[in-house]
Amino acid sequence: MKKLIFGLVYCGMVIVFGSCAALRAMCEFVKHPLTFFHQKKRDVQPEILQDPSYGTHKYVTANGIKFHYVANGTEGKPLMLFLHGYPEFWFSWRYQLLEFCRDYYAVAVDLRGYGDTERPPNQKDYHLDKLTQDIAELIPALGYSSCVLVAHDWGGGIAWKVIDSHPELVDHLVMMNSPHHKIFAKAFSKWGQLMKSWYIFVFQLPYLPEIMMSARDYKMLERVFLSKPMGLINKEGFSKEVMETFKYTFSKPGACTAALNYYRMVFKTRARTAHRSNDKIEKPILLIWGDDDGAFLLEMADQHNLVATNLIVKHIPKCSHWVQQDRPDLVNQYMREFLQDDVS
């Protein structure tokens, strides 16, 4: 009966939100018929992505995937591994790569299907179990037995699973605006969170999300990062040059579909993640939360004592979902304070 009810609710949400999204796309086309399908040709990598101060571009194979990453700092120092969210890539961690390279071997990876990492063609290749195994194999592939794991958004969903299933790989966890799956599952039954999660249901549809994402030369990326409710409140650090890096990355063949496949597998992941240990996470965790997040209910941030015993929560008022790019000063400060014994 529960499966039937869930199936009906799921189908209803996809139909309702999908119809609204389709109608909006049609209106956008009517308003901008000549530019709706226009996409700027982007054959040359933006210069800012080649800035050596962010680190060195490298590749490594893990779990059968060739991963691209940017490493800053001295290899052999403790590993700090950064996992980005949607729709992002390694560059989302530019401020942290510059800040922590003195004390750590700071590595920002393009997750499976993103950036210059390989893009498997099938939806099933983006199941959470495979995404988790990617990181479980990536850490030793980089030459380490454990790390400080830093994650945001979808990267956080993967990181929670990593620390749940492979706690020996994580010395400290720094999480940013990404709730533990148990906390999110409870919130997902509330109308407020369902409305914030409308896009997840739209992303279940074929073709339409890709069209929406790329329309008018990836105008959706500008809306996601630069307008409320998801957008940056502090826009000074998000210049046109920075915006162009995201458009360049997602204009690559198959990039939009690969990123969307994370969401298209999320409800298929649900059944497998339901049966987990009830033991709380004992590793030290810092949860940083931008309080003006358009994707998640604020109340979720302070509920994580239900899943962790050694937890610090830091709120950043008037800060968006994109917390590490929006307020890098405070994010880096809170990380420093949390990790001070680790580098002393």
Cα distance between residue 88 and residue 105, in whole Å: 21
Q: Which residue type does 255 have?
A: A
334 part of the active site:
no
CB atoms within 10 A of CB 314: 18
Give the H/E segment covering residue 152: strand 147-152
**Residue 264, token pair as written in the block:** 């298209």
Give dist(CA 223, CA 38) in Å, integer.
17
Task: Indicate which residue of 116, 134, 321, 326 is catalytic.
Answer: 321
For 179-200, b/e burial (b = at least 16 CB within 10 A) is bbbbbbeebbeeeebbebbebb
Other CB atoms within a 10 A radius of the CB of residue 163 amount to: 24
Single-letter residue type at 233: I
Quote the radius of gyration of the chain (alpha carbons, Å): 19
Is 321 one of the catalytic residues? yes
DSSP state of 169: G
Does 171 qualify as catalytic in the annotation?
Answer: no
| The one catalytic residue among 153, 164, 171, 326 | 153
Pairing of strands 105-109, 65-72: antiparallel
Determine which one of 134, 263, 304, 326 is catalytic.
Answer: 263
- Catalytic residues, by residue number, are 153, 263, 321
